[in-house]
Chain A
Amino acid sequence: MANGNVTTGKAEDLLAEAARWRDEGHKVALATVVTTWGSSPRPVGSQLIVDDTLRLQGSVSGGCIEGAVVHEAQAIMEGAPPKLLEFGVSDEQAWDVGLACGGTVKVFVENVE
């Protein structure tokens, strides 16, 4: 199979990237999908990192809840306690941010010290 390389180990790359951003002096938050129910677009363990310049890498959904996650992440990297966020069809906010897939997803957001 030509060009059949399969990319794995993304989580490792993201954590290495988070460490690099901290070493550059940025504040960094890490978001991790901890549970999914129904047809969530990204599996448990998927991660997103964001820094204080709103540099983003990774994903916790197909793109529909990242905005809300980043909003919470900004407060958390400024010193707010870590937080478990829940998005789903029964949740008003999920409608707002448009979780397109009809699933539920819980995302844990923490500061990278």
Chain B
Amino acid sequence: MKREILDRLQKARAAKQPTALVTDLTDGRQLLQADGDNLGELSLDAGQQAAVTAAITADRSGPLPEHPNLFVHVYNPPLRLLVVGAVHISQALVPMAQVAGYEVIIIDPRKAWANAERFPSVQLIDDWPDDAMTALAPDHRSAVVVLTHDPKLDDPALGVVLRSPAFYVGALGSRKTHAKRIERLREQGLGDDEISRIHAPIGLAIGAKSPAEIAISIMAQITQVLHGVPPLVKAGQPEAAPREMVG
């Protein structure tokens, strides 16, 4: 590895840019693709270039399927989970997401909820959710969940998040609650394309009832969306009943 490539790679990682290092395993020549720029002595044709881009999107390191001598090492920014609402569900969700490899940040201006006693090992931000969200700038490796059930807090956060490239946006609340939310967001000037990105009612339909179970259903849905897996419906099974009571 040339020092020039190592230094540029470290810079790209520090800037949280999606980055891939391609190595020709027969001779060690390399190409670094960072933030749309290429650096290095290895050149790729259009098909190979597209395969590298696909590897970055899928966050999958390994040899290119059709060119096993070309190894792609994907250095993506870390996964983040931004949680609006220091609520009971969040207390269960935080450790689950941390174990799954997410950097978790909780946003809640209500200090009675967002304090180190309730959340001992996670970053807490007590700014208003729209300001906090703007500062955190959700990227394509960020998932955002809004759990306060309070339009004063949830809606401003959604206003910022739905205009960001966050890969997952989920909002707590029943279908009825969500229908009202959709109307409010339209009044905020959000388009249907943006609003339809919200997963609501939040989480996979696994019959979750307790806060911990709801956290499991949320984490499962985030994982499913992250890996681009279609929703699982088992043959011969009726669709799960809508969870009107949740939230």
Contacts and interface: CB of A to CB of B under 8 A. Distances in A.
Interface in B201-217: none
Given A8-B78, A19-B6, A35-B63, A82 B98 contact: no
B183 to A, nearest CB: 38
A12 B13 contact: yes
A73 interface: no
A30 interface: yes
Interface in B18-47: 23, 25-28
Contact of B7 (A6, A11, A19): A19
A3 B78 contact: no
A80 to B, nearest CB: 11
B62 A35 contact: yes
B1 A30 contact: yes
A84 B24 CA distance: 10
Contacts of B103: 8
A38 interface: no
Interface string B82-126: 000000000000110011010100000000000000001110000
B3 A112 contact: yes
Contact of A11 (B75, B94, B101): B75
A18 interface: yes
A32 interface: yes
B57 interface: no
B224 interface: no
A110 interface: yes
A-side interface size class: 20 to 34
A101 B239 CA distance: 41
A32 B9 CA distance: 15
A112 B78 CA distance: 25
A25 interface: no
Contacts of A15: 6, 9-10
Interface residues of B, number: 30
Task: Provide the main secondary structure of the chain A interface.
Answer: mixed
B101 A8 contact: yes
A34 B10 contact: no
Contacts of B98: 1, 4-6
Interface string B54-70: 00000001110000000
A64 interface: no
Contact of B120 (A2, A6, A12, A84): A2
A3 B25 CA distance: 41
A12 B62 contact: no
A62 interface: no
B2 interface: yes
13 contacts: A2-B120, A4-B94, A4-B98, A4-B99, A6-B99, A8-B78, A8-B103, A15-B6, A16-B10, A18-B6, A34-B25, A44-B61, A112-B6
Interface of B: 1-3, 6-7, 9-10, 13, 23, 25-28, 61-63, 71, 73-75, 78, 94-95, 98-99, 101, 103, 120-122
Given A4-B94, A6-B99, A84-B25, 9 more contacts: A2-B120, A2-B121, A12-B13, A15-B10, A16-B10, A32-B73, A81-B28, A82-B28, A108-B23
